Chain A
Amino acid sequence: MSLLKPFSKLPGLNSANILLVESKEEFQQSLADALVQETAFTVNVRLAKSLPLPIENEESRPRIDLVVFIIDLTSELSFQSTEASLKCLDPGYFLGKVCFMVINARNAAAPIERLDAVRKLAASLHCPLLFTEGQTPDGVANATERLLTILKVAAGFVPMATALYLSNLTRSTVSPDIDQPSFD
């Protein structure tokens, strides 16, 4: 099984590579368009439906600095696909180079158990969990800004900060009473 390794290739000069993994492939397109607008450095966005990535591109693919899993809370398939993809990622990525992004969290069709499950997943892997709203341009711009902040650190553009350091500051935690029924 081919794992995606963080340090198996050379880093790119003045560029950052981000991989967006989404099983539905809706939000990642608009997010990618917004991400490449960044001018301070070159942002290369790679899109994928799930991991493992096809072997054909193995040689030409650059080193991935940040892997973002986009989970749509209204579909169970999205969550399961993410869980399966996580197994194809080298453990070295989880030290600050993985981020979870949740969309449609405000939708009434999203069950609360899935949100709790996503929270627990992010907390157990010590990764940041971001919530965004993907339908309006404002929401996309907001998500882009936050992702760029994390990407800059992961690609080494922020002096005195590494991805591991940032992950200690931004990792999501679950409160101990997450298993209690919530009062709605």
Chain B
Amino acid sequence: MDPCDDVGSRHHAVEAGALSSGPPDGSTGQKDVQPADMLRIKQQMSNQCFEMAVQLQSGKSKRSCSTSEAGRELSEYVNELDRVKTIHFNSTLTLHRMQMWHAIGEKLKQNDSEALALKAENDRCMNLCSQIKQLQQESRVFQDEITEIQKKRLEMKRLTHEKMKEMDELTSKAGHPDTEKYKAVLERGQANLEKYKKMTVMTQNVLRGILLACKVNWMDDPKLRDIAMTLEECSISD
């Protein structure tokens, strides 16, 4: 495949190029390149070479499979890749840690001024660590106390809530049966009132009819006039 050959030849050229590279193009005034920069550039080139190698390899082995299968496999591979990367990173971290401790140990064995400084630093670190531990202990104790107090407060709240509920129940119960009886009595009373009102109105109408029919002159007689006036005030219900 044409692009693959292209990539292959470039791959080799880059390897050769990376080994004999001079200062980078961007820094025109800088004569001596820092070793860190060189390492970085080397890292970049190795990354590029890796990509091209991947491209070459994918060109070589080709098999046909469906898209959904490819998708599933892809997610599996990505998970696997993540897992391996994490393991690698952790191992590198452990390795660096071991290397550092070994170097510190060697330095301390030499017992010169730098070693003394290291020892002093180490003692300071130990003091700080024990202080940290003590403070952590204290804070844990405080935290426990706070939790205890919170529990008590919650308990108090619960009790208060219960008492309030009981009170509500009592007040409602006490008022309840009276209101029921009271309602019935009230209704009966009102019915009676209506009945008597109607009777009064009817008697008043009858009396008025009698007065009119008798053709009595009620305006002159004060007693009759009073009665006649009150007859007008009656409420005309229904």
**Complex-state Cα separation, A76 to B78, whole angstroms:** 37
A90 and B3 within 8 A (CB)? yes
Q: Which residues of B contact A27 (CB under 8 A)?
A: none
Give chain A residues whose Cβ lies under 8 Å from the Cβ of B25.
12-15, 42
Those 8 A-B pairs whose CB atoms lie nearest each other, nearest first: A156-B47, A14-B24, A42-B26, A156-B44, A7-B7, A11-B48, A156-B48, A168-B78
Enumerate chain B residues within 8 angstroms of A155, measured Cβ to Cβ.
Answer: 44, 48
A129 at the B interface (CB under 8 A): no
Q: Which residues of B contact A14 (CB under 8 A)?
A: 24-26, 37, 40-41, 44
A162 touches B47 (CB 8 A): yes
Chain B: number of interface residues, binned into ranges: 20 to 34
The answer to whether the Cβ of A131 comes within 8 Å of any Cβ in the partner chain is no
Interface of A toward B, CB cutoff 8 Å = 5, 7-15, 41-42, 90, 92, 155-160, 162-165, 168-169
Contacts of B81 in A (CB 8 A): 165
Residues of B within 8 A of A159 (CB): 43, 47
Q: Which of B21, B47, B51, B52 contacts A13 (CB 8 A)?
A: B21
Of the candidates B43, B47, B52, the one having the most CB atoms from chain A within 10 angstroms of its own CB is B47
How far is it, in angstroms, between the C-alpha of A142 and the C-alpha of B81 when the chains are bound?
Answer: 30
List residues of B (12-66) whose CB comes within 8 Å of A's CBs.
Answer: 13-14, 17-18, 21, 24-26, 37, 40-41, 43-48, 50-52, 54-55
| Contact present for A5 and B51 (CB under 8 Å) | no
B74 touches A168 (CB 8 A): yes
Beyond A15-B24, A155-B48, A165-B81, 11 additional contacts (C-beta under 8 Å) are A5-B3, A7-B7, A7-B51, A90-B3, A156-B43, A159-B43, A160-B85, A162-B51, A164-B51, A164-B54, A169-B78
What is the bound-complex CA distance between A15 and B50, given in angstroms?
Answer: 17
CA distance A160 to B86 in the complex (A): 11
B10 sits at the interface (CB 8 A):
yes
Distance between Cα atoms of A15 and B27 in the complex (Å): 11
Given the complex, which residues of A lie within 8 Å of B41, measured CB to CB? Answer: 13-14
A41 and B55 form a contact (CB under 8 A): no
28 contacts between A and B (CB under 8 A): A5-B6, A7-B6, A7-B10, A7-B51, A7-B52, A8-B6, A10-B17, A11-B45, A13-B18, A13-B21, A14-B24, A14-B26, A15-B24, A15-B25, A15-B26, A42-B26, A90-B3, A155-B44, A155-B48, A156-B44, A156-B46, A156-B48, A156-B51, A163-B51, A164-B51, A165-B81, A168-B74, A169-B78
B26 contacts across to A, CB distance below 8 A = 14-15, 41-42
Docked pose: A158 CA to B78 CA in angstroms: 18
Return the CB mask of B164-194 against A: 1 if under 8 Å, else 0. 0000000000000000000000000000000
Q: Give bound CA distance, A92 to B52, whole Å.
A: 11
Chain A residues with Cβ below 8 Å from B44 are: 11, 13-14, 155-157
Supposing A90-B3, A156-B44, A165-B81 touch, asked if A13 and B24 sit within 8 A by C-beta, the answer is: yes
Tell me the smallest distance from the CB of A18 to a CB of chain B, in Å: 15
Alpha-carbon distance A10/B18, docked complex (angstroms): 11
> How far apart sit A157 and B85, CA to CA, in the bound complex (Å)?
17
Task: Give residues of chain B (59-106) contacting chain A, Cβ–Cβ below 8 Å.
Answer: 74, 78, 81, 85
Contacts A13-B24, A156-B51; A8 near B45 (Cβ below 8 A): no
